[in-house]
Amino acid sequence: MSIVVTGASGKLGRHVVEQLLEKVPAGQVTAVVRSPEKVADLAERGVRVAVADYNAPETFDGLFTAGDKVLLISGNEFDKGRVRQHSVVIDAAKAAGVALLAYTSAPGSLTASLADDHRGTERALLDSGVPYVLLRNGWYHENYTENLAPVLEHGAVVAAAGEGRISTASRADYAAAAVAVLTGEGHENATYELGGDEAWSFAEYAAELSRQTGREIAYNAVTPEALTGILAGAGLPEPAAAMFADVDAAIAKGELVVDSGDLSRLAGRPTTPLSEAVAAALKD
């Protein structure tokens, strides 16, 4: 029996593996990656590394064992049919008879097109009959704080979220919830709506940036169409730009406010405040 984490070379996957190593022996953890060199340090620490690609079903043959607990971290290849990719993992998990398959989804309240792949994967997972957990992750603080250069350069947070609020949390918080599910009992067939304890508006975010930098940073609220143009002008492919603008429109409608308390309950502590993520980003 192993705890198996796909996408282990990614930012969330790294947090999950690091937190798992605080709770279980390294030999019980399997990191599934496309490029083993990205996790050479984990292999050195005794983590089993398996090489597989969501685009190549045969690479998952025999990867799972009966009784494994698996975390399927959603992929980021938006143009490659993520439901089909994720179904490769679900089919392999079913064939092996895993004990649990947890999937990093999106909040149930989110209607933006970005959520379509998550809803499709949830359906495939439920239809498979494999014991599941839906970790419906809200947005990361880091989606905003990892990209501060243009904000500081222009002295403005530009978004199409109007006065909408959003309950973000750090990747480490979402990883803690996943680890609680993978190492705990009684989570079979549960759906968790995960988000930060405190929701914030983009005006409040700009004010926090102003406070911590000592500079005047404004919130420049634009329309989704204008944001699509700005993002495309910055080099993002048009469909991706439209998809992100669509998310902002959903934020304006309150669709990324998550007030279930599931995240801090599973993590066993309050979620990380946005101000801490801002401070960490400004220190880098």
- Per CB under 6 A, which of residues 32..51 are in contact with ligand NAP? 34-35, 38
Q: Any residues with CB less than 8 A from the CB of 188 and at least 6 apart, and which?
A: 100, 131, 132, 133
DSSP string computed for 95-164? HHT-SEEEEEE--TT--SGGGHHHHHHHHHHHHHT--EEEEEE--BTHHHHTT-HHHHHHTEEEES-TT-
Q: How many positions of this chain bind ligand NAP (CB under 6 A)?
A: 23
The nearer residue to ligand NAP, 10 or 162, going by C-beta atoms, is 10
Among 75, 164, 196, 224, binds ligand NAP (CB under 6 A): 75
Q: Does the protein bind ligand NAP through residue 139 (CB under 6 A)?
A: yes
The nearer residue to ligand NAP, 114 or 156, going by C-beta atoms, is 114
- C-alpha distance from residue 162 to each of 5, 53, 227, 251 (Å): 37, 39, 12, 8
Amino acid at site 167 = S
Q: Does the protein bind ligand NAP through residue 7 (CB under 6 A)?
A: yes
The nearer residue to ligand NAP, 132 or 139, going by C-beta atoms, is 139
The CB-nearest residue to ligand NAP is 10
- Cβ–Cβ under 8 Å, residues 229 and 168: no
- Binding part of the chain for ligand NAP, among 10-18, 20-28, 234-242, 248-256 by CB under 6 A, reads 10-18
- Site residues (vs ligand NAP, CB under 6 A): 7, 9-13, 34-35, 38, 53-55, 73-77, 85, 104, 137, 139-140, 143
